[in-house]
Amino acid sequence: MSAPWLDVLDDTIRSCAAHNRPDLAERLREKRARQLDPKLRVLVLGEPKQGKSQLVNAMVNAPVCAVGDDVTTTVPTFVQHAETPNAALVRTIANTPTERIPVPLDQLASQVGAAHTGELVRAEVGIPRALLTSGLVLIDTPGVGDLRPAHTASTFAALLQADAVLMVSDATAELTASELELLKQVMTSCPNVIVVLTKIDIAAQWRRVVERNRAHLARAGVTAKLIPVSAALRLRAAKTGDKALNAESGFPELLACVQRDIVAAADELARRTVAVTAASAIKQLVTPVREELQSHGSQGAHATIANLNEAQRRIDELRRRSARWQTVLADEMADLVSDIEYDLRDRTRRILREADKTFETADPALGWEEFETWLEDNLTEAAATNFAWLLDRSAWVAEKVARSFPVHRDDLLPESVFPADVLARVSKMDKPVIEKFGVSQKLFTGLRGSYGGVLMFGLVTSLAGMPLINVISLGAGALFGGKSIMDESDQRLKRRQGAARAAAQRHVDDFFIKFSKDFRDAARHIQRSLRNHFSTLADELQETLLESARSARRAVQDDNTERERRAREAKLELDRLVQLYQRVQALGRTPPLGISA
């Protein structure tokens, strides 16, 4: 027949394993094994020098545990039933399995005190006693609160295996604060406690102490029986066979109580023990689950939300900045174009003035070729200087725009944004029309001029009676002819100069128009490529930031869903644990868990 507590215990063990608490599971499994073990371990525990060992001796009516005036018990002593009296020491030597060394019963005390290699774990004593035949094991322990912590530690280790506890305190004084503290501590791992008040033979006031102790126990909320005994009287009674003295010692009552409350009620005890241990295990499991439920895993969420905020901030920053860099680019390029155009106009104008000055005196007919070369060279130089300036300025503009860009990258500046074919040649300059002033023309002009002179002076001289054609009129005619020729050639020179000037003007204008157009185109090209370059960069950047923002948002969303899922799970888990706890509570009196399911 499997007891109901066994199911509850198994469920609790499973829960412990599910919650990654193998330590708890291990402890419960030990407990389970022990509960199934027919042996009943009764731990005799208390502060030093309260008469624990003497109590054990008196219970079995044999000096099995060493008793002394100073601190005597140093290792737990297990007293159990055996057909023939025997004793053994159990020791361990650095990580090896424990080793059992049989010793004669009467030498046990001295052997415990003697030096040993390794560490003594416990002493075992077997004696034939009716009391022990039911599987009762009395465990005498070193005093708690002794100056050697190792003693206390071994007592607490033994406590984990106990089915019931006899808490020993002597009747010469009431329970002290530290004893009550110890008692409460014991109750958490083993609720079956009987408080035994020893040494009532030497305490005249022991009845008052019993009263006070009952009050202390009630105040501390400890429900434990309190039995006053005297081991000295019991041992004396055993020696003399004095029944009355035995009754006086209080031991019959203690043994009856042990028989009734511990041996006979083994199942009840098991249930209570299991209830307490399972309850404490479940409490430990509940704490992290509840914490998780309360905190909503807020720590992780904080980080992801911070990431999201950061990403969004950077996107906004980029947007703000990209408006700025576009303005910068547009303004700077407009400035650049007007500056370049002015510069070009200035340079061409200077060239033109030079040409004008030249043609005021020079005859284009004579040095046109030279002039043409000069003009071409000058214009080319102006264009080159101007273009170089354009390049410098646009590089500067690119840098300025890059500066107003929100992030710094190595490839922020464009490699080259300049059109390759800015300087296409302008059409060849037109040569001005230069009329030839040939000999026949000169002759004709001379004749035409001389005609007037001959006629004028012939008429005048004819008045003087001279023939129309005479020396004077002929001379004047020659003179007039010469002048006509000179005038004519002068006029022609002027005309030629004017034509050359006009040609130069036209050429320079052509050049200017052509080049200013080219420069504008180049500038626009530069602007466009800069804009393209930077907007590509900005797009890339924005995309990156958007992506990180998106992933951050996704993370937050994921977090949320994950958290909700986990919270749901935790809630379910908590419900399960609470149900389990209720089942545990049904087993025995345990304090409420302190949570609402």
Q: Does residue 201 interact with other proteins by CB under 8 A?
A: yes
Of residues 147 and 463, the one with the C-beta less far from other proteins: 147
Of residues 171 and 194, the one with the C-beta less far from other proteins: 171
Determine which helix (DSSP H) or strand (DSSP E) holds 533, and give its type and residue range: helix 471-587
Closest distance to other proteins from the beta carbon of 178 (Å) = 6
Q: Does residue 54 interact with other proteins by CB under 8 A?
A: yes
How far apart CA 239 and CA 248 sit, in angstroms, is: 15
Q: Does residue 203 interact with other proteins by CB under 8 A?
A: yes
Q: Does residue 419 interact with other proteins by CB under 8 A?
A: no
Q: Does residue 47 interact with other proteins by CB under 8 A?
A: yes
Q: Does residue 145 interact with other proteins by CB under 8 A?
A: yes
Q: Does residue 51 interact with other proteins by CB under 8 A?
A: yes
Angstrom CA distances, 304 to 287, 466, 547, stand at: 26, 128, 14
What's the distance, Cα to Cα, between the start and end of the chain in Å?
32
Of residues 173 and 472, the one with the C-beta less far from other proteins: 173
Q: Does residue 131 interact with other proteins by CB under 8 A?
A: no
Of residues 245 and 460, the one with the C-beta less far from other proteins: 245
Given 6, 82, 245, 362, the residue binding other proteins (CB under 8 A): 245
Of residues 200 and 426, the one with the C-beta less far from other proteins: 200
- Contact present, 60 and 138 (Cβ < 8 Å): yes
Of residues 69 and 369, the one with the C-beta less far from other proteins: 69
Given 8, 200, 255, 355, the residue binding other proteins (CB under 8 A): 200
How far apart CA 342 and CA 348 sit, in angstroms, is: 10
Of residues 149 and 465, the one with the C-beta less far from other proteins: 149
Q: From residue 5 to residue 44, what is the string marking binding to other proteins with x (rule CB under 8 A)?
A: ----------------------------------------
Closest distance to other proteins from the beta carbon of 149 (Å) = 8
Q: Among residue numbers 164 through 183, which ones bind other proteins (CB under 8 A)?
A: 170, 172-174, 176, 178
- Contact present, 373 and 436 (Cβ < 8 Å): no
Closest distance to other proteins from the beta carbon of 203 (Å) = 6
How far apart CA 98 and CA 272 sit, in angstroms, is: 31
Q: Among residue numbers 63 through 82, which ones bind other proteins (CB under 8 A)?
A: 68-70
How far apart CA 458 and CA 472 sit, in angstroms, is: 8
Three-state SS annotation for 119-174 = EEEEEEEEECCHHHCCCEEEEECCCCCCCCHHHHHHHHHHHCCCCEEEEEEECCCC
What the block records as the tokens of 369 is: 């070729």
Given 9, 19, 48, 453, the residue binding other proteins (CB under 8 A): 48
Closest distance to other proteins from the beta carbon of 96 (Å) = 30
**What are the DSSP calls for 432-484, one per residue?**
PP-----HHHHHHHHHHHHHHHHHHHHHHHHHTT--SS-HHHHHHHHHHHHHH
What the block records as the tokens of 581 is: 């706890």
Given 81, 91, 129, 199, the residue binding other proteins (CB under 8 A): 199
If binding means CB under 8 A, how many residues of this protein chain bind other proteins? Answer: 33
Closest distance to other proteins from the beta carbon of 234 (Å) = 11
CA angle 550, 554, 559 (to 5 degrees): 150
Nearest to 352 by CA among 518, 516, 511, 491: 511
Q: C-alpha dihedral over 88, 93, 98, 99, to 10 degrees? A: -40
Angstrom CA distances, 425 to 429, 507, 511, stand at: 11, 12, 9
Of residues 234 and 314, the one with the C-beta less far from other proteins: 234
Angstrom CA distances, 333 to 38, 138, 151, 327, stand at: 100, 102, 91, 10
Residues that bind other proteins (CB under 8 A): 47-49, 51, 54, 68-70, 145-147, 149, 170, 172-174, 176, 178, 199-206, 230-233, 236, 245, 248
